Structure 1
Amino acid sequence: MNLSDVAIRRPVFTAMLSFVLIVLGLLSLGRLGTELYPPVNFPFLTVLTVYPGAGPEDIERDVTKPLEDAVSSISGLDNVRSFTRSDSMFMVLKFGMGTDVETATNAVRDKIGGVKGKLPEGAEDPVIQQLDIGALPVLVAVVSTPAGVNETREKVDERLRPLLEQIEGVGAVNVLGGQDREIHVNLDLDRLRALGVSPSQVAQRLGIENLSVPVGDMRLGSYSVGVRAEAQFEHIDDLRSMIVHQTRDGQQVRLGDVATVVDDFTKASRYVRFNGQEAVAVEVVKKSGANTVAVCEAVREKLNAEVPKLADGAITEVITDQSLEVKANAHEVWIAIYFGGAMAVLVILFFLLDLRGTFISALALPTSIIGTFAVMYYLGFSLNMMTLLGLSLAIGLLIDDAVVVRESITRRLEAGDSPAEAASRGTREIALAVLATTLSLVAVFVPVAFMSGIVGQFFKQFGLTIAVAVMLSLFVAFTLDPMLSARLSKAHDPHAKEPRLVAAIRGFLDRIDDRYRDVLRAALRWPKATVGASVGMLLVTGAVAAVMPKEFVPKEDRGEIFADVRLPVGSALEVTSAAVRSAEAKLLATPGVERVYTIIGHESTPERARLRVRVTDKANRTEPLERFEERVRATLSEVPQSTVNLSQPAIIDGLGDFPPIILILQGPDLDGLAVEGERLEAMLNTQADANDVRMSLSPGRPELRLTVDRAAAADRGVPAGLVGVTARMMVEGELVGSLRDGGEEADIRLRADPRFSQDAQAIASLPLPSPRGDIQLGDVAQVQMGVAAAEIQRYNRMRSVNITAQVAPGGNLGGLVETFFKDLKKAPLPEGYFLTLDGQAKDMEDTFNAMGLAIGVAFLFIFMVLASQFESLIHPFTLMVSVPLAMVGAILALAMTGNSISMGSLIGIILLMGLVTKNAILLVDGAIAAMRDGLSPVEALELAGPRRLRPIVMTSAAMALGMIPTAIASGIGSEFRAPMAIAVIGGVISSTVLTLVVVPVIFLWMERLRSFFVRAPAPATAPTPQPAK
């Protein structure tokens, strides 16, 4: 007894099984997180080392190289990148996918610990962090009050941030804009010199006079109490009145006598503006796995409640809220699911002409989809674009098994069987074919779910969601459908009069059966012409595919443009701010521009600014985003001596807004890298599809160099290192403690009064302590202007530069890369120089390779399923002929709609593999069954073809029509989803038509080939009846 017979005999048990799926699914649906995309985890570690006062070349020699050498031998390390600037070194370690990040972190910590003692004095200990690329802000808001931006920051830091950090799911809150409070002790060097006091003496006195020291514990009666010595400054006047020196005549010198003590703010390293006004921005980062929608809604509610309490007139405005994209995307996909399901049901009704049968088949949709939510929750998936997209694309597949089973049952009813007999026999007749078709779909999507690299992580939830859904639909088709068919179907009455509309449709369908039978006979009569025409179509398709544009992911229109403006290296932060301000005003006056959010000092570089330009949503405007990009570029190009680079938010969280093309050029020295980098930059600029080509090697940053004369320093008893230490304390300043003012705490910075460090002459006159009396810095060091590298980049322990480029609107990323490397072969790099491709171009290359491997594995799995089904090693090849036939429609549909070959369209093509194989299985299975009844191959095909025509057309039409909402959608994420649906629609149409004609011809040839090599067994015959005893 098979599963369907058990379901028919035990209807209550079968119904309860379905109810269990639905109840568990509904419970799980409420607990599933909601995201835009699945999380993509990258095994990255970062190492940050701060070396105040040191230049890039010094840090490279003394810090970067030793650390790179130490970590380079760690197992699983893919590559090492380092970025060395003045005062700091930042290193990124990328490990292979699948590497345990905790193990890698411990290994890096051990290696760095071994060389940490060899780093120069003054260099801080390296800080190792796991880089969570998914930990990007989900909400950014600006806060403004009538008070100044610094006061606003203080209130946001002290009162608003703690409240936001308490919200469930919030991982971190970053506050940008404004400066923190800082007490500046500006030394009067002339006064110090007159009194015979050195700056180091002042620093020492500040250190010992401003302490809070735990002394220990002591017993007081029956209590043990802690003892603390408190001598910490609590007011700025405490600083001014502190005694720093006593003269020979007993006069006390107070700090206020030799310095100006100012309650000030830290040195600005970044300015934040919103719509041209200084502002404070709040970035909210959610915890990994937290519900984006829930977190953003809670943060919005808290902002609206708490910001007005900061000050009278305080307001807030949300700049970026990822939950809006999540909800809009989910809304679009749910509409596609509902519409697709409705279209699939209407298609079934049209072909079955039976309301009861349509109702029974349609139950597979909600049961399978809702049941899938339970498995998604168990697997830790979320409701994101990929899982919902998988369900929307699978609508036609989920009802497919039920349709085929129901059509078989309907044929048994029309043959005169009772409802129970028709349900049992109809399901049994088609069971193996349905099982094989479903397993072929699973065989397609399981390899997709287990692809390597970024693509594998991105599509894991997509592939497994579809696989689970189709397996549940198979279970429903073998249990609920036959049970309800046995209970709800009516016995067929051949004499019953049908309604006129039903009779007209049935007559139309019968005529289609007859026309198809004629076409099939013609194809079998002229097989070479049939196959030749198909091959010709494949050749044309291949030629079209070769010239189609290729890209990693399609460019999305999210209504936002990132504009990076770079001024000449060495430009001060204030200069950059002033240069960009006029451009902000022009952009805000541009029709369609809603807001401009500007960060001056982007990526801690004073000459860089980033503008996030928000335009009207695409649903409310007629102009494409590219038109606004042209206006933004034209406006920002008016900024004097600037270079402009435009980009858009990353389509996949974690990929960042990196340029599509990144070329990493490695070489032994910076001069050679500059020459070759400029040559490669010029080569890219000649490509019409390239925009914003830029080399990362900038002109040197102006630098005032203090070159120590070691002989002069030794003659005066001054250690050479003291020159730099003293100069740093006087110019940049040195933190010497903190001031506790009420409940607030502010750092104290000791430095020379700014008037003593305005130019080279002032620097040369800075005092240095010496055993032979105070001397000036110029006595032991030469002060002169020079040029230092703004940043030194290294890749895998070699100096490197990056050449980056955007793709022009309508450009072809794949063609651009291919042409560039062809040109490079004609003029190769010199010996010792190496070029590595990175960015989206590299991601595209990896994706296509991973997809190719997934397709190959899927072919293998499908072959194994089909060989098992038919107990044949020949007919699986017959069935798999249908796969390339689907490429004809898929590629032509993409080309005609102006789409590219991308990650999305390739997934649609992979989906086609399972779908078209499914149709071929139904056709071939019917022919083999007819041959077992004694028919010849030609007769079997002429019988099976028309008989299986309707279920094949039904499932194909349901699939194609169900994809229409996804194909024509225009909301958020539609640029990624639409190519999948278009490829499927085109492939379904071409494969359905060609499969019904070409597969029978190939089947006939294979049968003749098999008969030639193997003596065919005699057809099975019915046993001869014996007379009754």
Structure 2
Amino acid sequence: MSFLEFPIKRYQFTLVAFAMLVALGISSFLSIPRQEDPYFPIPIYQIVVAYPGAEPRDVERLVVKPIEDRINELDDIKKIESFSNDGLAMMVVEFYSTADAEKKYDEVVREINALRPSLPTEIARLEIKKSNPGLVNIVQFALVSPDAPYRELEDQARDLKDMLKAVDGVRTSETWAYPARELRVALDLPRMAELRLAPSRVIEALQSENTTVPGGAIDVGSRSFSLKTSGSYESLDEVRDTVVAAVDGRTVRIRDVAEVQWDTQEHTYIGRFNGQRAVFVTANQKDGYNIFEVRERILEAAKKFEQQLPKRIKLELGFDQSQNVATRLNRLTTDFAIAIGLVAITLLPLGLRAASIVMISIPLSLAIGVSTLHMVGYSLNQISIAGFVVALGLLVDDSIVVVENIARFLREGHSRTQAAILATRQIFLAILGCTATIIFAFLPLMMLSGPSGKFIRVLPTAVLSTVLASLLIALTIIPFLASRILSKNENPEGNRLLQSVQRGIHRFYQPLLHRALAKPRLTVWGSLAACFVIMIGVGGIIGFSLFPKADTPNFIISVETPGGSSLAETDRALKFVEARLSAMPEVASYFTNLGHGNPKIYYNEFGNEGATNYGDIFVKLKEYDTSDTPKKLEQLRRELKRYPNAHIYVKEFQNGPPITAPIAIRVIGSELDELDRLAARVEQLIKETPGTRDVENPVRIKRTNLQLKIDSQKAALFGVPALEFDRAVRLAVAGIPASRYKETDGEQYDIMVRTPITERASIHALDQVRVTTLSGATLPLSQLAELQFIAVHRRTHTDRSIQPCARGHDQC
């Protein structure tokens, strides 16, 4: 008994297999994880370093270069790319895709930790972030209040974060858009001058007292006890009672020369929701979970949290990724229904019975495809759903051919069993070859390398598994069903509809076919020319792009004011954008981020990590219409372009790997002044090119900074070391972190030593800064130094993957 005869003659086995496939498909569809993007680790890591107050050249020299040199010693490095801005460095380390992502992450963390003691102590933040398309926030809440203090909003945000972290399926939760809390030690400089104490003595005392060093274990008789020598602070009174020095036989404590209290750091990230002051809370999802189930558990936790909120604070859910996933699944359902309808219409000439048999192959093939994805560890996401949509147009071909051929054999007088066997055997090689052609068309996508290949691999997997399933069904299930369902007594000429179709074939198609076969060359070249004309014509209408738009009802508006702009200046531009958004009825809600980018909510969008001249607005639309929405966004671009003192960009989300821009031109060299000149020329050429927009040149305008010019001769006469100038200014303007204060709930806060001159000190306030001589006396800063305005490069960029040309070569 052959393979083709077995499912027809051993119908009991076929029925059991059919039922098992249906059950497997239903089980897999219900249990397969659902998320917006595929989840897989990529050996690409982002290193973010915040170095407040440093200009780009200092950031590159003191932070970026040492880290690059250390990381470059690792194996399998493909590229190291770094950006140095005012007070901020961002490095992207990429290894070859064959490297183990988790192992390389551990190596990067190890090297950074080993290098950390040699980096500047003023570094406020150093983070190493993994890259993974699935590591995006699935919800973003806003705690909105016009009058609640930030400390209360922070406490509520932390409580919500802790509740969300306890939800099954949530990987982690974070809080955003409020000033960090600190334990401030505000020095009394006149009092310290009387006691001849330098600020460094206070910093050293805090560092020494707030250190935990276990003493070890001591045996006392039959017992062993752990010996504790000193410990960390447990209350503010302990900080106040810290001994600084002994002066004239009297003990001087922190409380004698400083005021110790809880305070907040400078506002560097301010958030608003729909124009109202707010802080944000986000949560992302673990791999292998269903986003709809996780969402329900998150909303249940948020509902309980909302019940305990004070009336002046309102909880808003501004972003819910599950809505985008549901939209894509609904599209798949719609396409599924369209496919069923088209199959029914196509097979009406063969009768309703034949159409119903073929329609069974569609859900059964999809069920096997979903089961295959589930078994190999994939999820239902936007890429796999796109694969199933593509497969819908392919999976019925084999079944249609088999059913039509079986019906033809029945009309010729064969029995149902004979017709099923003979018809399937006759076209076995034909449908096998057709299916192989489809498989070979998608196999190259399976072999793509790099992160892009990993990202797209689920699409050909979905297509191939579904098409192979359709081939198996067409050779087994479909003949069995046809041998049981199709009518025994078929009219040799078919029904009236089939007769009409055949008359049309003989009248129109047959003469045309004969003419085409008579002139094969003309037919081939004419077909190619027609395909080319149609492709160019349709492409000119719908346009060309490397990667399609995401078609999600979300977009980002980024705002960048000139380098050196204050938060207030950037906020004015953001409020201009907010006013335009408030007038758009299509907008459902929006998150405003001043001084920082919005938390990550799409896999290839990375927000700015912090700059006073940057802000963005994450906008959610009520719905996305593929024809109307782009027109509305283009109109919005024209309106926002009128703002005179900022670059405002409207960016729709797109699929594909993260890129700087569709067209990015880099001018490479070592002389920054010459690079600035060439970059300005390139910028002008691009702007003059028709069809370009959003042309950005990060070094177009140099930033003006202040430089402290020290009179070295006077400083030497008074015995003031150069380091004392830097420390005095830093203490007055930004403060110096002395240690970390740990609360009982595990939260840690900086102990910042400051002077009363803080919070964006003005030039006149710097006149109050005093420096300490070696003898302990203090002198006004203005007696030994003066401030000067200087122009600096506001941004530098290095790329270790770009090698300069060798001497003597013209091709660069």
Q: Is TM > 0.5 for Structure 1 vs Structure 2? A: yes
| Aligned residue runs from structure 1 range 255-404, under 5 A | 255-348=254-347, 350-353=348-351, 355-404=352-401
Q: Shift of the alpha carbon at 1:273? A: 0.9
How far does the alpha carbon of each residue in 1:799-857 deviate from its partner, in whole angstroms, 9 at most, with x for none?
Answer: 99xxxxxxxxxxxxxxxxxxxxxxxxxxxxx999999xxxxxxxxxxxxxxxxxxxxxx
Structure 1 window deviating more from structure 2 (750-759 vs 121-130): it is 121-130
Shift of 1:125: 11
Q: Which residue among 471, 478, 484 is the counterpart of 1:487?
A: 484
> Which residue of 2 is the match for residue 612 of structure 1?
618
What is the CA deviation profile of residues 74-116 of structure 1, one whole-angstrom value per residue up to 9, with x for unaligned ones?
A: 5543322112234443211123333332454466567768877
CA contact (8 A) 2:325 2:381 kept: yes
1:311, distance to aligned residue in structure 2 (A): 2.5
Q: How far off its partner does 1:612 sit?
A: 2.4
Residues 270, 573 of structure 1: 8 Å contact kept: no
**Residues 54-93 of structure 1 mapped to structure 2, 5 A cutoff:** 54-72=54-72, 74-93=74-93
Q: Is 1:417 matched up with 2:410?
A: no
- The aligned counterpart of 1:598 is 592
Q: Are 2:750 and 1:753 equivalent residues in the alignment?
A: no
Q: Show CA shifts across 1:307-333 (max 9, x none).
A: 331334432111111100100111111
* 1:184 match: 184
Q: Does 1:790 align with 2:799?
A: no
Which letter maps to 1:299? I
**CA separation of 1:563/1:636 partners in 2, compared to 1, >3 Å: closer, same or farther?**
farther
Q: 1:105-162 deviations in whole A, cap 9, x for unaligned?
A: 4665677688777656766997654333541222111013576241333323442211
Aligned residue among 474, 488, 499 for 1:506: 499
Look up the match of 1:988: none
The answer as to 2:512 corresponding to 1:519 is yes
Cα–Cα, structure 1 residues 582 and 88, in superposed 2: closer, same or farther, change >3 Å?
Answer: closer
Is 2:652 the partner of 1:655? no
Q: Is the 8 A contact 1:792 1:799 kept in 2?
A: no
Aligned residues of 1:583 and 1:636 also touching (Cα < 8 A): no
CA distance in structure 1 between the partners assigned to 2:809 and 2:702 by the alignment: 24
Q: 1:195 to 1:758 in 2, by over 3 A?
A: farther
Distance 2:118 2:253 in 1: 40
Are positions 1:468 and 2:465 aligned together? yes
For residues 482-523 of structure 1, give each alpha carbon's deviation from its aligned partner in whole angstroms, at most 9, with x where no partner exists: 23333344444659x98xxx3354244244235432332333
For the 8 Å contact 1:40–1:454, the answer to whether it is kept is no
Deviation of the 1:264 alpha carbon: 1.5
Question: What's the secondary structure of 2:693's corresponding residue?
Answer: strand
Q: 1:328 to 1:220 in 2, by over 3 A?
A: farther
Partner of 1:631: 636
1:168 to partner: Cα distance: 2.1
Contact 2:564 2:704 (8 Å CA) reproduced: yes
- Cα separation, 1, equivalents of 2:318 and 2:559: 20
Q: Secondary structure of the residue that 1:394 maps to in structure 2?
A: helix
CA RMSD of aligned residues (A): 3.7
1:4 maps to 4
2:770 corresponds to which of 760, 766, 778 = 766
TM-aligned CA distance change 1:106 to 1:635, over 3 Å: closer
Aligned residue in 2 for 1:886: none
Structure 1 pair 700–190 and aligned structure 2 pair: CA distance change class (3 A): farther
Q: Is the 8 Å Cα contact of residues 368 and 465 (structure 2) preserved in structure 1?
A: no
- Maintained 8 Å contact 2:144/2:276: no
C-alpha separation in 2, matches of 1:643 and 1:361: 56
Cα distance, 1:682 vs structure 2: 0.9
Deviating more after overlay: 780-789 vs 187-196: 780-789
CA 1:31–1:5: 2 relative to 1, 3 Å: same
Question: What is the CA–CA distance in structure 2 between the aligned matches of 1:324 and 1:696, rounded to whole Å?
Answer: 36
Identity of matched residues, % = 26
Shift of 1:210: 5.1
Partners of 1:379 and 1:742 in 2: how far apart?
Answer: 45
Give the Cα separation in 2 of the matches to 1:511 and 1:133.
Answer: 53
SS in 2 for 1:663: coil
* 2:274 aligned partner, one-letter code: N
SS at match of 1:565: strand
Q: Which amino acid aligns with 2:465?
A: V
Q: Secondary structure at the match of 1:702?
A: strand
- The answer on whether the counterparts of 2:767 and 2:780 sit within 8 Å (CA) in structure 1 is no
- After TM superposition, give the deviation of residue 674 of structure 1 in Å: 1.1
Please give the secondary structure, in 1, of the residue aligned with 2:774.
coil
Q: What is the rounded CA distance, in whole Å, between the counterparts of 1:613 and 1:833 in structure 2? A: 48
- Report if the CA contact (8 A) 2:366-2:388 is conserved: yes
- Separation in 1 of the partners of 2:705 and 2:161? 39
Give the distance between the partners of 1:146 and 1:402, measured in 2 at CA.
Answer: 64
- Could you tell me the TM-score, scaled by structure 1's length? 0.70
Contact 1:633 1:646 in 2 (8 A): no
| 1:760/1:784 contact within 8 Å kept | no
Q: Give distance in 2, aligned partners of 1:526 and 1:203.
A: 94
Q: Which residue identity does 1:310 align to in structure 2?
A: L
- Please report how far the alpha carbon of residue 449 of structure 1 lies from its aligned counterpart in structure 2 after TM superposition: 2.5
Report the equivalent of 1:669.
671
Q: Which amino acid aligns with 1:265?
A: T
- 2:647 corresponds in structure 1 to 643
What residue is the counterpart of 1:1008 in the other structure?
none
Are 1:666 and 1:673, in contact at CA under 8 Å, matched by a contact in 2?
yes
Q: 1:99 to 1:532 in 2, by over 3 A?
A: same
Q: CA deviation at 1:57?
A: 1.6
Amino acid at match of 1:269: T
CA–CA separation in structure 2 for the residues paired with 1:799 and 1:528: 51
1-structure distance, mates of 2:742, 2:104: 41
Per-residue CA distance 1:6-25 (angstroms, 9 max, x = gap): 22221101222222222222
Shift of the 125–642 alpha-carbon distance from structure 1 to 2, 3 Å rule, reads: closer
Structure 2 residue matching 1:605: 3-state secondary structure: coil
Task: Please tell me whether Structure 1 or Structure 2 has the larger radius of gyration of its CA atoms.
Answer: 1
Say which SS state the counterpart of residue 655 (structure 2) adopts: coil
Q: Name the counterpart of 1:427.
A: 424
How far off is 1:457 after superposition?
A: 2.9
Residues 157-195 of structure 1 show CA distances to partners (whole Å, capped at 9, x for unaligned) of 442211111122222212112223323222232232133
Structure 1 residue 469: deviation in Å? 1.6
Does the CA contact (< 8 Å) of 2:703 and 2:794 recur in 1? yes
Q: What is the distance in 2 between the residues matched to 1:26 and 1:666?
A: 57
Change (3 A) 1:214 1:49: same
Correspondences of 1:195-274 after superposition (within 5 Å) = 195-209=195-209, 214-218=214-218, 224-228=224-228, 236=236, 239=239, 244=244, 247-248=247-248, 255-274=254-273
In 2, Cα distance between the equivalents of 1:229 and 1:74?
A: 40
1-structure distance, mates of 2:54, 2:132: 29
Q: Alignment partner of 1:770: what SS?
A: coil
Deviations 1:971-1024 (A, max 9, x none): xxxxxxxxxxxxxxxxxxxxxxxxxxxxxxxxxxxxxxxxxxxxxxxxxxxxxx
Taking structure 1 as reference, are residues 485 and 97 closer, same or farther at Cα in structure 2, changes over 3 Å only?
same
Query: What secondary structure, in the 3-state scheme, does the structure 1 residue paired with 2:581 have?
Result: helix
Task: State the partner residue of 1:728.
Answer: 730
